[in-house]
Structure formats: C-alpha cells, structure tokens
Structure 1
Amino acid sequence: MITSADIAHAVDVLAPVMRRTPIVASRALSEACGHEVWLKCENLQRTGSFKPRGAYMRIQGLTQEQRDRGVVAASAGNHAQGVAWSATTLGIRSRVYMPIGASLPKISATRAYGAEVVLDGTIIDESLLAAQAYADETGATLIHPFDHEDIVTGQATVGVEIMAQMPDVGTVLVPLGGGGLLAGIAAAIKSQRPEVRIIGVQAADAAAWPISLQAGRPVRAESMSTMADGIAVAMPGAVPYRYVSELVDEVVTVSEDEISRALLLVLERAKLVVEPAGATAVAALMARGDLDLRGDVSAVLSGGNIDPLLLTHVATHGLRAAGRYLTVSVTVPDRPGGLADLLALLRDVGASVVDVIHSRVAGELRLGDVQVTVSVETRGPDHQQTVRAALAEAGYLDPAHE
C-alpha cells in the first residue's frame, strides 16, 4: 500500500505542473440532500480531467533507458490525453491506441498534445491488447490507465487537495471506473482522516465493482452499455481493488437517466461542462436518498471532455428525464387551421414548442388526416400531465392511454 510519504512526494512532484483545481459550492445540491455540498472541479484540470496526475507521476519515474524507448497507452479519451500531455511535457515519445469509434474531438486533442494516435479495435480492451503488443515488440513502457501504484499515488493528490480546501469534509463521492481515482483519494484521506466516508459511484449499466466486491476479487462485468464511457471499465484493476475493498465505505450505482439529469444540473446551476462519467457523483446525490452522508460533502467532477454533439444529446435526455421535455404524436384534420388549433392549445397551457414534424403519409392515416409529432418544453412532471390532459380533452389523445 502507498504511504503518506509516497503521497507527499507526489504532491511535490506534481505541484509545478498540475493545477490545484477549484472547489465550488452547490446550493441546489445542498438543498436537495440537506448537507453542504462542494464540487471538486477536476474537469478544469489540464487536458480536462484528473488523468494527467497519475500519468505524469508514472512517466516521470521512468529510467533514462525507458524514456528513450518511449511510452504507449490505450484509451478512449481522457487517459490518452493525460499520457500524451505528460510525455510531451517530459520530452518523451508517446503512442496511444484508441478504439475506432473514439470521438473525433478526443482523437484530435490527443494528437494535439503530441502523441501518435493509432485507431485499433472496436472496444478499449482490444486497443489495450494492441498497445501491449506494441510494448512487447518495441520495449516501450505501457502506461496503464489505473492498474499501477504510481497511477494511484498521482490520483491521491486530489484527496490531499480536498482535505486542504474542505477542512470539515465528512463525505467524498467519487466516479468509479477502473478504480485508480477512488483508490488514490481513499488512500490519501483515510490515512489522515479515517472517519471521512468515501463513496464510489458507478454507472448501473457498466457496474463491475459491486459484483467484484461481493466476490472478493476483480470480476469481469458481462456487459458495458453506458453513455459514461470514461468509467465503462469491464474489470477493476488488481492494484486499485486492494485500496477500494479495504478503504472505501460504499459503492453505489446510478442509471442513465440519473446521469443525464446530473449533467444538466451541473451545466445549468454550476455553469460547468462535465462529461457523463464526471457527473456520476452528482447523480448519486440527486437520486440516492439512502446515502449515509456525514458532514460537509465533496462530489468530484472527474472530467469535462465531452463531444459537443453528445452534450446536446445528453442535455435533451436530461430534460426529458426531468420532465421538462415532452414529445407526443397526434392526428389532426388536414384542413386550414388544423395545425394552428393544436399549437394554440399548447400555447394556452404554457408549453413552448421546440419542434414540429407534419406528415400526411405516416402510419395508417385516414384520408383527410395528418399526423403531427410535436416536441415541447415543460416545467416538470406535473406540467406534463396538464399538457397531456388538455390534449386528451380536446380529442387529440386517447385518455385511456394517458
């Protein structure tokens, strides 16, 4: 296990090159859960996530012979950028294998930070195999995204900063994928403040940790299907597992709807852009009323690297999940004023029209009818029911299906 001295050394090594990311209060979350909540903004770290902390710590410890052979990594985004930036900063050649379906902004950013990018494999596990093969062939050092003591030590500096910025912190919630960030934060905080509760948060549709902790060893999850690609790790790392199993108080999961709602809240109320993985700790605070929270709460926003197109999609998903976006299909008479009557009704009930699709050939329409699919902004679930009731009363919807 890493020691307090190891973590203190990491603080000294990283201080000249890493940002001490801010911690900001969230009134909305504080009111929702009854505790003072502060957001630790690792989305504002260099390269847009916490990853350079561990990557730099690992790479700077290489021997000169290892540096001359370069480094290699596999990642869908954040680790790729962290390795590229760290290696370039240290004057070391880097190659990063990324899945063929990786987002274009993350590929471009990784190249911009100085790495040679190779697209190989459809999932990250296949990219990791390609990276390992390259390391075996060339002697380059494989920089694993989470399964190494140096990586955990680097991520531990986030915990050191939380304790310095929040002397009265009582609970820390951390997004959980491979486990490097959670392991590091737990190691740093528990060594100084063992009474602080540490909670890991996974996406329910990519949750390898609950079954692993139950089995007493890392276990591969059967499926990975989540928008939170930054924490979609099929199998926990052996190194992080030791720390998480011994030091972390609880691991919980959140749904896709809950993640999208959290991302939307952080965007609207905190004015911060985060990726789905980075919003999971907030999602747990919003959705899990059974959490055992103690004292002031810190929720870590682990990253902010999100494709603008995905941000639009997730924001819309979050609006829908929060009852603020409604789409209905209705049939109206194909005559002058038919559509205008529908839009007037929506106006009268306070629904703001976002989009209208007007079709004369959809489904099994009768001659003289038109199908209209309309999307509207609403003020929440109660307002949605009001809109639906008004549509049903006017004969646009069948009350039996409302």
Structure 2
Amino acid sequence: MNKKNLDSLPSSIEEAVKRIKDFTRVTPLEYSAYLSELSDAEVWLKLENFQVTGSFKARGAFNKVLSLSEEEIKGGCVTASSGNHGAASALAMNKLGIKGLVFVPEATSTVKVNAIKNSGCDVRFHGEDGVDTENFARDYAVKNNLTYLSPYNDFDVISGQGTCGFEIMDQLPDCDVISVSVGGGGLISGIGAYAKFSNKMIDIIGCQPTNSAVMAHSIDADEILDIESAPTLSDGTAGGIEKGA
C-alpha cells in the first residue's frame, strides 16, 4: 500500500461504515473488571465474537464485495482462508448472489469447512499452510478471470476492518491504548489508521502468540520472512504472510 492510499484510509473507513451498515453489526465495547484489576488499568473488550459470522472478518469481506464492479460481480470471486475470512467472504458473496469459491489448507478442521459451506460457497483444499493456499488461490483467480478476495492484503478489506476502529473511537474516545491481535495485519492496519487519525497520541500495540509471530519477526528483519509456526491456541492469527503484503 503506497502513501497516497495510507493518507486516504481514514476517509475510506468512514465510507465503509456507511457501506456495510446493513450487513454487519456495531459490536459492544464492554468493561472487564478482571483484566482491569490484573493490569491496574481500565480495560475494555471489543466483542467481535458477536459480529456476523463470529469475527471481525465480516467487516472487510462485505466492504470488499460491496465495492466490486458489476463486471467483477458477474465474473465471480475466489478467496483463501483457514476459517473466519472464508466464512465471512462466503456469506458476503451469497448475499450479493456472487458465485464464489474458497480454497482452504489441507489441515483445515471440519468445523471450519462446514461453516464456510453453510455460508453458501464451494470449498476446495490446497496447500499445507495459509500462504501456500493464498498464493494458489490468487493464481487460480488470474487464470480463470475471477476476482481474488485477499484476507488482509487489500485496501478495501483493510478499510472494512478499520470500521472496528471507528466504533472504538466512537464508543471510548478518550482511550489511551488499543491492543490488536495480528495475523496478516489487516485489522491492525485499519484500526491503527483510524485511531491515529482521531487521536495522534494514542498507542497501538500489535499482539501475536510466541509460537506464530511471523509479522513481528518480519518487521524486525525489514522483510517478509518464511517462518514455520508452532501450534498455538490463537489459530486465527497463525501462519505466514504472502509476499508483497
């Protein structure tokens, strides 16, 4: 993403708020007495588990799909995901009557595969991890003249995820720090852009599990690294990052 796109991200997020409002939910921001006592601070939780399809991914998926041209909609779409993005994209495509296909890694759980199928898309297996699957799906889209819906490496997807930051700043405008889970970086990019636009003094902290901290190590190295991930409870953020992200 170039600097011009970065500069326009806050306004694009505000447009996304209007675009997706009939398809997604404004999720609660709830005070956590336990975490507040534990950290000696006021801690609030943005409950994206109450979002459509159970995660923030619906925000980016709907914003991307609703931004497509008539030609792109008629042509069909393909995406890659090990779970949440696939289910969200499948639902978004289903709502707009788009013929969709979701590629998932070979080891994807039956529960996640069924969630994608139940949202209305065909599922195919390819690759041992997320990056392999993403690269294959992107190539498949090019070869078959389909639109590829990236899980994170896309301006419209990031703008959609940024609506979560818009809501946080509306619900708790005087917050000092926002901690965000990081996988491919779409969520923290959107939240960080809007939060910093609203309050330049706010701190944005990215959080990754030790067993799968590819983004953290890549930032330290100033290049995208290919690092094998170990098992982690945070499977939604696990895995690598596609080149060029």
Higher-strand-fraction structure: 1
Assess if the C-alpha contact under 8 Å between 1:69 and 1:141 holds in 2. yes
Q: How many residues align?
A: 238
Structure 1 equivalent of residue 46 of structure 2: 40
Query: What pairs with 1:2-401 in structure 2 (closer than 5 Å)?
Result: 2-217=8-223, 219-227=224-232, 228-235=234-241, 238=244
**Shift, 1:133, TM fit:** 3.2
CA-based RMSD: 1.5
Equivalent AA in structure 1 for residue 165 of structure 2: G
**Shift, 1:117, TM fit:** 0.6
Structure having greater relative contact order (Cα 8 Å, sep ≥ 6): 2
So what's the TM-score if we normalise by structure 1? 0.57
Residue by residue, what CA displacement relative to the aligned partner does 1:297-325 show, whole Å, maximum 9, x if unpaired? Answer: xxxxxxxxxxxxxxxxxxxxxxxxxxxxx
**Shift, 1:211, TM fit:** 2.4
Structure 2 CA distance for aligned equivalents of residues 211 and 98 of structure 1 = 25
Structure 1 CA distance for aligned equivalents of residues 215 and 93 of structure 2 = 30
**Shift, 1:115, TM fit:** 0.5
Say which is worse superposed, 125-134 or 22-31, in terms of deviation: 125-134
Residue by residue, what CA displacement relative to the aligned partner does 1:130-166 show, whole Å, maximum 9, x if unpaired? Answer: 3123212221111010001111111110001001111
Assess if the C-alpha contact under 8 Å between 1:71 and 1:93 holds in 2. yes
Structure 2 CA distance for aligned equivalents of residues 236 and 160 of structure 1 = 27
Residue by residue, what CA displacement relative to the aligned partner does 1:316-340 show, whole Å, maximum 9, x if unpaired? Answer: xxxxxxxxxxxxxxxxxxxxxxxxx
Assess if the C-alpha contact under 8 Å between 1:208 and 1:236 holds in 2. no
Assess if the C-alpha contact under 8 Å between 2:134 and 2:242 holds in 1. no
1:214–1:125 Cα change, 3 Å: closer
Residue by residue, what CA displacement relative to the aligned partner does 1:99-149 show, whole Å, maximum 9, x if unpaired? Answer: 121111111110111011112222222222331232122211110100011
Assess if the C-alpha contact under 8 Å between 1:206 and 1:221 holds in 2. no
- Look up the SS of the partner of 2:152 in the other structure: coil
Assess if the C-alpha contact under 8 Å between 1:10 and 1:157 holds in 2. yes
Rg larger in 1 or in 2? 1
Structure 2 CA distance for aligned equivalents of residues 18 and 159 of structure 1 = 14
Structure 2 CA distance for aligned equivalents of residues 192 and 145 of structure 1 = 25
Structure 1 CA distance for aligned equivalents of residues 26 and 143 of structure 2 = 38
Equivalent AA in structure 1 for residue 154 of structure 2: H
Gaps of 5+ in 2: 1-5
Assess if the C-alpha contact under 8 Å between 1:75 and 1:98 holds in 2. yes
Q: Quick one: percent identity of the two aligned structures? A: 35
Structure 2 CA distance for aligned equivalents of residues 8 and 38 of structure 1 = 23
Residue by residue, what CA displacement relative to the aligned partner does 1:219-252 show, whole Å, maximum 9, x if unpaired? Answer: 214221132221113126755xxxxxxxxxxxxx
Structure 2 CA distance for aligned equivalents of residues 168 and 79 of structure 1 = 31
So what's the TM-score if we normalise by structure 2? 0.92
